[in-house]
Amino acid sequence: MVEKGDDRSLSTLSTPMALLARFAVVSDLHIALPHTVWDSPSRFHLVEVSIPAFEQILDHLEQVGIDFLLLPGDLVQHGERENHEWLIRRLEQLSYPVYVVPGNHDVIRQGGCDRTISLDEFILMYQNFGYSDPSRPYYHHKILDGLHLIGLNSNGFEPNGDPLYTGWLDPEQLDWLDQQLAQLTDQLTLVMLHHNALEHLPRQASSPMGQRYMVKNASDLTQRLQTANLPVMFTGHLHVQDIAQADQLYEVTTGSLVSYPHPYRICELTTANDAHCLDITSHRIEAVPDWPTLQATSQQWMGDRSFPFMMKLLTSSPLYLSPVEAEQYAPALRDFWATIAAGDARFDFSELPPQLQRYLHSFSALDTDGQPRYIDNDATLWLQTH
């Protein structure tokens, strides 16, 4: 992978790169009609900006001209049928294809209820947005000549229909995936799911705070993709801007439309001979009606609600600070999560004890050697398919 502005790999190509596709990624929309907005003073999500922010993005995408749009889950606030219905009507008006996968807030119980939809209903309602086969909540599409998409369902449920705490890919889905991968040898294929399959935070898979955002059996997926030379996944759920890498497999997770920094991504896939390049540019919603200073207001909103989160982080593994110690340091960290959410984090807490400094610094945007690597928002990825 090379960072944006680094053309060393481009200079080695004898054939100019040709545009294969331009597409956008908008994640965790949490669409909420005004009368459905939760009245909770402690909520992190500014769902009241979901619709005007989404409309602003759609206006921009119309100007840019895209081939398709990816929505990696949490399409609505909390499973509400009428919010799903609004979103579907809006997506049907677009001139380009849209592909979705369910997030944990889209189907809050497997069987649904009068107010919320079931997983089976999700498939039927979004049949024009990926789900051409109503018998399963995952799909494979040939989007364009030379480009495929696999949409997976990472929502798992208990026998009584309650959602699992973590993401989960069931054995039947993995068997189906094996069949698809056998057909996709040396073909560029994007993978989309809601939960993370690669770690975007230190010790995310084992942390009590981080593991809920991950697929519990993530290795069952990543090993399959690496063996099949599928190079990139698009995820959401974590509400941060981050790009993670494991060997030649990348995971691009996109922050939420309704929380700081209200981002979305525009991506260009180019190709020459057997080389594929994914160029990613991130954008932010700066303001919407009634929210003229959205970025500053949203960052403050997150900081104002950060104290319980930071207390849990400081008193949990591996720090295990006492509550008294944690209360001493937590106020200095009010913008810690907002900085992570923005991507390309750079932390320097020189005023804090060395052990705490080292741990917090590990959340910075670093490569495997511990050196700064700022690729979370804008990046150029070279995708290996064989």
Query: In the predicted model, what is the mean pLDDT of residues 98-105?
Result: 98
Q: What is the architecture, at CATH level 2, of domain 10-286+375-383?
A: 4-Layer Sandwich (3.60)
Nearest to 243 by CA among 95, 344, 147, 331: 344
Tell me: the pLDDT tens digits for 154-186? 999 999 999 999 999 999 999 999 999 999 987
Q: How confident is the model at residue 243 (pLDDT cuts 50, 70, 90)?
A: very high
Using only C-alpha atoms, what is the Rg of the chain? 20
Percent of the chain with pLDDT over 90: 87
Residue with tokens 């209200």: 262
pLDDT at 369: 85
pLDDT at 8: 38
Query: In the predicted model, what is the mean pLDDT of residues 337-366?
Result: 96
Q: How confident is the model at residue 13 (pLDDT cuts 50, 70, 90)?
A: low
Domain boundaries, the chain: 10-286+375-383, 294-361
Q: Average pLDDT over the chain, rounded to whole?
A: 94
pLDDT over threshold 80, residue 14 = no
C-alpha–C-alpha distance, residues 147 and 130, integer Å: 15
Three-state DSSP state, 246: strand
Query: In the predicted model, what is the mean pLDDT of residues 306-329?
Result: 96
User: Do residues 144 and 67 make contact, with C-beta atoms less than 8 angstroms apart?
Assistant: yes
pLDDT over threshold 70, residue 92 = yes
> Pairing state of beta strands 147-151 and 98-100?
unpaired
Query: In the predicted model, what is the mean pLDDT of residues 325-352?
Result: 96
Please give the residue that has the higher pLDDT: either 171 or 372: 171
pLDDT at 40: 81
Nearest to 202 by CA among 165, 239, 263, 244: 244
DSSP per-residue codes, 347-360: ---TTS-HHHHHHH
Q: How confident is the model at residue 12 (pLDDT cuts 50, 70, 90)?
A: low
pLDDT over threshold 80, residue 313 = yes
Tell me: the pLDDT tens digits for 262-302? 999 999 999 988 889 999 999 999 999 999 999 999 999 99
